């Protein structure tokens, strides 16, 4: 009887131990979908993520494979463990665990603006074509609300031309002249006229997509990413700041603006202010009596 109870107790105690002793994976997969980063060519993009995968493999001791993706849908379908994901896409999927934020140009965010090849006036763009990065991550919300602050009618531009990445979107305006305006990071829009600033946009994020790997493995992956210098389009990585992506997520929704109606303050009038003697009543303007009489020429006064 005692033996049975002892075995039962041991079995109960063994459950949490088994759960915490989750074995390390035999392979890690990472992907990259960051169309807002100018790698220059698809080969350069793949080479970057492969270099990062090698650094992760050295830090974890686990075989790591890398793949570059042309759209976010394909990346999700492949069920990769980790991914470099565009800032706009992470803002639309904040449930993913953030591990690091990309450093580009000295910061984890970049200033963006609306740039034009048709002049620096917004009205000059009415009915023209707008080029944008077709990320598949609430692009309409990004353009109409985050970039245009819900203040421009959706039909203001004559057409919208979605491109696969930032390089192609800029070329649509600067080189091919098939569109007249584009939203882009300020440092990337060379040779075009800035129409106005649209605010800061966070750089790509490195995220844990699977959420199934042991915490120790995830920590080692995060350490390898933050310590990876890389170079080129992404100069490095910093500890993830979820706040910058949450801020962008808040800007993706339509904002309806209305005038503020405030209760006016009561105006109190002092009775003494309206009972003031006109200053003219105190003026003395006496006229000399002799001015009232005129002596005709040759006349004699009696």
Query: Per residue in 160-197, pLDDT tens?
Result: 999 999 999 999 999 999 999 999 999 999 889 999 99
Convert the pLDDT of each residue in 204-254 to its tens digit: 999 999 999 999 999 999 999 999 986 779 999 999 999 999 999 999 999
Classify the C-alpha dihedral 168-88-107-160 as positive or negative.
positive
Q: Does residue 103 surpass a pLDDT of 60?
A: yes
* pLDDT for the residue 234: 95
Instruction: Please state the pTM of the whole predicted model.
Output: 0.79
pLDDT tens per residue, range 85-95: 999 999 999 99
25-108+203-251 and 111-199, same CATH topology: yes
Complete edge-to-edge strand list for the sheet that includes strand 129-133: 159-163, 129-133, 181-185, 109-116, 193-202
Res 262 pLDDT > 70 = no
Rounded to whole angstroms, how far apart are CA atoms 203 and 108? 6
- The domain spans of the chain are 25-108+203-251, 111-199
Residue 7 has pLDDT above 50, yes or no: no
Least Cα distance to 198 among 272, 130, 264, 102 occurs for 130
Q: Report, as an integer, the average pLDDT of 247-273.
A: 74
Q: Is the dihedral of CA 114, 119, 123, 126 positive or negative?
A: negative
Looking at the domain 25-108+203-251, which fold is it? Answer: D-Maltodextrin-Binding Protein; domain 2 (3.40.190)
Pick the CATH number of 111-199 from 3.40.640.10, 3.40.630.30, 1.20.1630.10, 3.40.190.10: 3.40.190.10
Residue 86 Ramachandran class (φ > 0 left, ψ -120 to 50 alpha, else beta):
beta
């Amino acid at each position: 009887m005692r033996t049975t109870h002892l075995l039962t107790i041991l079995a109960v105690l063994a459950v949490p131990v088994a759960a915490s002793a989750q074995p390390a994976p035999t392979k890690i997969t990472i992907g990259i979908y960051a169309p807002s980063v100018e790698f220059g060519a698809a080969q350069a993009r793949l080479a970057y993520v492969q270099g990062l995968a090698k650094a992760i493999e050295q830090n974890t001791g686990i075989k790591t494979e890398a793949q570059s993706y042309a759209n976010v849908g394909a990346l999700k379908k492949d069920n990769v463990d980790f991914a470099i994901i565009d800032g706009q896409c992470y803002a639309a999927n904040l449930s993913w665990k953030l591990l690091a934020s990309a450093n580009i140009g000295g910061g984890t965010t970049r200033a963006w603006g609306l740039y034009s090849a048709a002049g620096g006036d917004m009205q000059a763009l009415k009915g023209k074509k707008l080029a944008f990065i077709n990320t598949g991550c609430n692009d309409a919300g990004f353009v109409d609300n985050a970039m245009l602050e819900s203040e421009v009618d959706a039909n203001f531009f004559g057409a919208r031309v979605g491109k696969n990445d930032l390089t192609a979107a800029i070329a649509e305006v600067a080189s091919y002249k098939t569109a007249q305006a584009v939203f882009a990071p300020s440092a990337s829009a060379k040779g075009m006229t800035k129409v106005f600033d649209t605010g800061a946009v966070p750089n790509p994020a490195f995220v844990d997509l699977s959420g199934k790997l042991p915490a120790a493995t995830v920590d080692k992956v995060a350490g390898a990413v933050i310590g990876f210098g890389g170079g080129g389009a992404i100069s490095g990585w910093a500890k993830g700041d979820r706040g910058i992506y949450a801020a962008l997520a808040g800007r993706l929704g339509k904002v309806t603006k209305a005038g503020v109606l405030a209760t006016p303050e009561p105006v109190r009038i002092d009775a003494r202010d309206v009972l003031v003697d006109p200053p003219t009543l105190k003026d003395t303007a006496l006229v000399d009596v002799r001015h009232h009489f005129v002596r005709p020429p040759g006349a004699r006064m009696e």
